Amino acid sequence: MNTIGEPWQRHFPTATSGAHLFPEFEMRAKAVSGEVFRVPDATAARETLIRLVDDVGAKKAVVVESPLQEAAGITEALRSRGVTVYTEPTDIAAHAETSDIGISGVEFGIAETGSVFQDGGAIATRLVTILPPLHVVFLPSANIVPGITEAFDIISQSFDRGYVGFITGPSRTADIERVLTIGVHGPSRFAIIAVDETPKGGEA
Amino acid sequence: MEAEKNLRKEISEKLKDETLRDALGRFSEAYPIARAKAYENAGDIEALRDALRQMKIDTVARIEEVADRFEAEATKRGAKVFRAKNGDDLKEYLVDLCRKNGVKKIVKSKSMAAEEIDLNPYLEAAGITATETDLGEWIVALAGQRPSHMVMPAIHLSRFQVAEYFSKELKEEIPPDIAFMVQAARKELREKVLQADMGISGANFGIAENGAIGLVTNEGNARMVTTLPRIHVVIIGYEKLIPTIKDAATILKVLPRSATAQLMTSYLTMIAGPTPAMVKRDGKWVEEKKELHIILLDNGRLRAAHDDKFKEIFQCVRCASCLNVCPVYTLIGGHVYGHIYAGGIGAILTAFFHGMKEFEKFQELCIGCRRCMTVCPGKIDIPGLIEELRIRNVKEKGLPFLLRQTFENIVSNRKLFHSLLRLASVGQKPFQSGKLIRHLPLFLAGLAKDRSLPAIAAEPLRDRIGKITKKIDKPDMRVAFFGGCTIDFVFPETGESVFKVLQDMNMEVLFPAGQSCCGKPVIAMGDVETTKKIARENIKALEEMNPDVIIAACPTCTESLRHYAELLKEDPEWGPKAETTANKIREFCSFVAEEYAKRGRLTKTAGGPKVTYHDSCHLKRVLGIDKEPRQLLEAAGCELVEMKDADKCCGMSGIFGVKYAELSMPILEQKINNIRDTGAEIAVCACSGCMVQLQGGLDKQLPGVRMKHVADILAERIEEK
Ligand code: SF4
Ligand code: SF4
């Protein structure tokens, strides 16, 4: 399986990154209609996700695992909530289009723009992020870099091949009469669950 | 001529299109504010623009090397790179690729290059359906039109029009509700993406270091188009190539901010080499390596890259901010420019991608106001490049007969020129009761039929010199005044004011009688040789008097005289003289402000009239003079009330204001409205071209307000004392 190519976590902390940038990141992400939930630990992360699931009445979810999700037991929590969860790439391919929610992990956030950086080398990641109407990502809240330039300092060290990018709020258009409309091709809701506690034992 | 007629017809249609006028009007108001806000947290804008410009300059200087590296790195990672010389090359390759892979259905995310070469109809003819997935592009395609803006393709359409196109396409009644329509498009287009065999995307940049391409989008369609179908084809122009991954940051710092006033678009995607795709085989999903094809399109780009002047177009990142501030574009929209690249930059790109014939038609739609240069992130000298193209066009093909006759035989022959001007003052045919065109009076009078402009004065300035010259015994300075046609023959009173102001500072003022037109209208039409002739005569006349300084009360004349040095630099005899003249020329306001300051007179006083000041495009953006005229007005006791958009063009620019009167008029109307709103008694400017235009507009629309040159205000103040 062609998974995430780079252990991006090895870059953190950088000289300028840190949770002190989180307030700016949060403000910018919210300014572009992103939903931001900063939580102290795995338990709170799980509860936040379940609230989102209940909020949209999700029945079906496609999930690509990440260390934060595993630590919080997201997949199991979803299942025990009665949500059908798909985690295998072939299943994700078959069901992403009809799922209510897509869940994945992202590597870091950018304070200047409120963006998150994600390695989408794995096809499953891309399907999960683009097809369902609600996309939820998990982010270590200390992994925030100040700006685009710093983000590219990291990217240029690690991006050799594959599919990477920033996601900044939900999908949007202003193509008809310049009226901003959220949710065109991609998700109409984009939520970031930022976790303060780093998962134990994982590579992170 | 036929083409010109069509263009005029199209212009007048666009001017009548209320939806378009309304949309563009509101947008041009909103854009500068939104842009400024987007740059608030970006640090030093100028530094960001310089960084982009420099990075692009360095890249184009070694474009082949960068392209080779890009190709090698992309190939190494499994992509297939094809270099297309032109549109035909590209289309053949693509259709062949489709045939080999049994591709029948294609989805596209925005590619300007594909539009440029008219890809869709070609695919259609080959039995392949290509669907645009970008909402704006899809709408425009359904309407059977072309994009009218590089970033907002459907800005010219209203929700009602869109609802009609949707209803027809989807065969059901679609209400003109924007949110509803967006959802309808989502449903329809998602189906298409899921079924497509191939996705075609453009690219905002291509990175040589690792062969990656970058896409900057908002809707998410580019992510779908590059993810779902089993084959991905990228169409990318050479100008999009950048050397390193970090260079992408230089673009991303400015592109979203300038293009859509966003700090970042919803999606930035970078793809290096083929990535896995999910393909359904025998009813089961399997993961397969995608096929990735990158087509590097030349189509005139490499010729530009190797052209000393036009390599500058590689600095363009297609943000369209130049359109958003352009007084012409924001009146008529993009369709008038004929091809997909609109506005001033569009005319230049069109010249390289589609040939000079196309350029000829649209180049006149740039009035050289330079507003675009204040926002262009790549700092491209758009009006300068347009002028250069005109020069080359004339070199190659010569001027139209009448114009050539006019320039060669009349404008460059001062005596004849001036006697014609005098004749005009008595209102003889064919000059139609003294109509005048900025900088190039009369000869184009046939083109002036749509308007009346200020009359030629009964007594030109040159005939008044004896009366207005004061004998000064020990002058502080000897000043030669270069009047230019307009002050000399239309506004001689302003010329008198200049004399008064300078003489009041104990300067001896000389008026070299041998001076003629500065040459601007001639060079603006691309006729270099005649301009040189005119320059030599003016230099001779001015230098004979051996003045300490030369003053012009018009930014265009100032610029022209300064330009003589460059114009004649290869002439061993005249080159050094031209240099001397160029070094002596000073613009009136900045010169007087400096001298007033020395004399302690540049301080605010009271008791004068309520005035508002119009910044001439050339005075402010070419010469960088905008504070001095204001300081002078306040020193003269005026109550200065700023008008809205004081530095927006008044619509009069050389031949344009006359030839395209229908375009020039609405621009002028905005200006007059802004003047009216200030409640000022006098509208002041410091440019003779603007004076012609403003005078005409005020006469008709706001007769209570007078128009004056800064020199007039200063002279009145001196008289009062
Ligand atoms: S110089 Fe003025 S008219 Fe010409 S393209 Fe730029 S903004 Fe438009
Ligand atoms: S010329 Fe400058 S402002 Fe215009 S699209 Fe290109 S980069 Fe943007």
Whole-number pLDDT of residue B601:
94
What total of structural domains would you count in chain B?
3
Q: Are residues B338 and B274 in the same domain?
A: no
Compute, in angstroms, the gap from residue B329 CA to the centroid of ligand 1. Answer: 8
CATH number at residue B193: 3.40.50.10420
pLDDT digits (tens, 9 = 90+) for B40-93: 999 999 999 999 999 999 999 999 999 999 999 999 999 999 999 999 999 999
Could you tell me what percentage of chain A is helix, strand and coil, using 3-state DSSP and rounding each to the nearest 5? 35, 25, 40
Measured CA to CA, the distance from residue A156 to residue B272 in angstroms comes to 12
CATH number at residue B606: 3.40.50
pLDDT digits (tens, 9 = 90+) for B629-679: 999 999 999 999 999 999 988 886 655 555 666 777 788 888 999 999 999
Of B397, B413, B447, the residue at which a domain comes to its end is B397
Q: Which residue of A has its CA nearest to B109?
A: A185
Half-sphere exposure in the Cβ direction for B628 (13 Å, CA): 20
Q: What pTM does this model have?
A: 0.86
Q: Are residues B201 and B55 in the same domain?
A: yes
Query: Do the Cβ atoms of A114 and A28 come closer than 8 Å?
Result: yes
Q: Which residue ranges form the domains of chain A, and what is each CATH number?
A: 16-172 (3.40.50.10420)
Whole-number pLDDT of residue B656:
57
Of B265, B280, B297, the residue at which a domain comes to its end is B297
User: By mean pLDDT, which of A164-173, B11-20, B648-657 is the weakest?
Assistant: B648-657
In order of A110, B197, B362, the CA distances from B333 in angstroms are: 36, 35, 13
The per-residue pLDDT of chain B, averaged, comes to 88
pLDDT band at B450 (very low <50, low <70, confident <90, very high): very low
Ligand 2 lined by B380 (C-beta under 6 Å): yes
Q: Name the residue range of residue B266's domain.
A: 2-297
Angle at A47 between CA A45 and CA A52, to 5 degrees: 95
Q: Which residues have a Cβ under 8 Å from the Cβ of B18 and sit 6 or more positions away? A: none
Q: Are residues B195 and B65 in the same domain?
A: yes
Q: Are residues B232 and B313 in the same domain?
A: no
Q: Which residues pair with B648 in a beta bridge?
A: none
pLDDT > 60? residue B453? no
pLDDT band at B439 (very low <50, low <70, confident <90, very high): very low
Whole-number pLDDT of residue B689:
83
Considering the domain boundaries, does residue B454 fall inside one? no
Burial (CB count <10 Å: 0-12, 13-18, 19+), residue A39: buried
Nearest to A56 by CA among A72, A39, A35: A35
Considering the domain boundaries, does residue B140 fall inside one? yes
Q: Which residues have a Cβ under 8 Å from the Cβ of B300 and sit 6 or more positions away? A: B352, B353, B354
Instruction: Name the strands in the sheet holding B507-510, side by side, starting at the edge strand that comes first in the sequence.
Output: B507-510, B477-482, B549-552, B585-587
CATH number at residue B312: 1.10.1060.10
pLDDT digits (tens, 9 = 90+) for B166-186: 999 999 999 999 999 999 999
Whole-number percent of chain B with pLDDT over 90: 66
Considering the domain boundaries, does residue B497 fall inside one? no
Q: What is the ipTM of this complex?
A: 0.96
User: By mean pLDDT, which of A83-87, A132-136, B615-619 is the weakest?
Assistant: B615-619
Whole-number pLDDT of residue B493:
94
Considering the domain boundaries, does residue B159 fall inside one? yes
Of B264, B297, B330, the residue at which a domain comes to its end is B297
Q: Are residues B132 and B144 in the same domain?
A: yes
Atom 4 of ligand 1: nearest residue by CA position = B366
Whole-number pLDDT of residue A168:
98
User: By mean pLDDT, which of A6-15, B67-76, B568-577 is the weakest?
Assistant: A6-15
The per-residue pLDDT of chain A, averaged, comes to 93
Whole-number pLDDT of residue B402:
62
Q: Are residues B273 and B335 in the same domain?
A: no
Contact at CB, B246 and A167, closer than 8 angstroms: no
* DSSP-based three-state secondary structure for B219: coil
pLDDT digits (tens, 9 = 90+) for B219-242: 999 999 999 999 999 999 999 999
pLDDT > 90? residue A84? yes
* SS3 per residue for B409-438: HHHCCHHHHHHHHHHHHCCCCCCCCCCCCC
Considering the domain boundaries, does residue B155 fall inside one? yes
Whole-number pLDDT of residue B412:
72
Measured CA to CA, the distance from residue B219 to residue B189 in angstroms comes to 12
User: By mean pLDDT, which of B284-288, B305-309, B383-387, B521-525 is the weakest?
Assistant: B521-525
Contact at CB, B278 and A90, closer than 8 angstroms: yes
Query: Do the Cβ atoms of B620 and B368 come closer than 8 Å?
Result: no
User: By mean pLDDT, which of B2-11, B115-124, B371-380, B488-497 is the weakest?
Assistant: B2-11
Q: Are residues B246 and B272 in the same domain?
A: yes
Contacts of B185 in chain A (CB under 8 A): 184
Peptide bond into B460 cis (omega under 30): no
Considering the domain boundaries, does residue B446 fall inside one? no
Q: Are residues B234 and B319 in the same domain?
A: no
Contact at CB, B223 and A178, closer than 8 angstroms: no
Tokens found for residue B500: 């008064």
Considering the domain boundaries, does residue B248 fall inside one? yes
User: By mean pLDDT, which of B17-26, B396-405, B523-532 is the weakest?
Assistant: B396-405
Whole-number pLDDT of residue A88:
95
Partner-chain residue, chosen from A159, A166, A183, that has the shortest CB–CB distance to B264: A166
Q: Are residues B225 and B96 in the same domain?
A: yes
More confident: B660 or B265: B265
Q: Which residue of A has its CA nearest to B254?
A: A148
Ligand 2 lined by B378 (C-beta under 6 Å): yes
pLDDT band at B486 (very low <50, low <70, confident <90, very high): confident
pLDDT band at B251 (very low <50, low <70, confident <90, very high): very high
Tokens found for residue A15: 């000289």
Q: Are residues B214 and B334 in the same domain?
A: no
Whole-number pLDDT of residue B721:
65
pLDDT band at A2 (very low <50, low <70, confident <90, very high): very low
User: By mean pLDDT, which of B195-209, B297-311, B569-583, B696-710 is the weakest?
Assistant: B696-710
Considering the domain boundaries, does residue B588 fall inside one? no
Instruction: Name the strands in the sheet holding B682-685, side by side, starting at the edge strand that comes first in the sequence.
Output: B639-640, B610-613, B682-685, B706-709
Contact at CB, B190 and A185, closer than 8 angstroms: yes
Q: Are residues B306 and B173 in the same domain?
A: no
Whole-number pLDDT of residue B433:
36
Q: Are residues B214 and B322 in the same domain?
A: no
Mean pLDDT, residues A12-41 taken together: 96
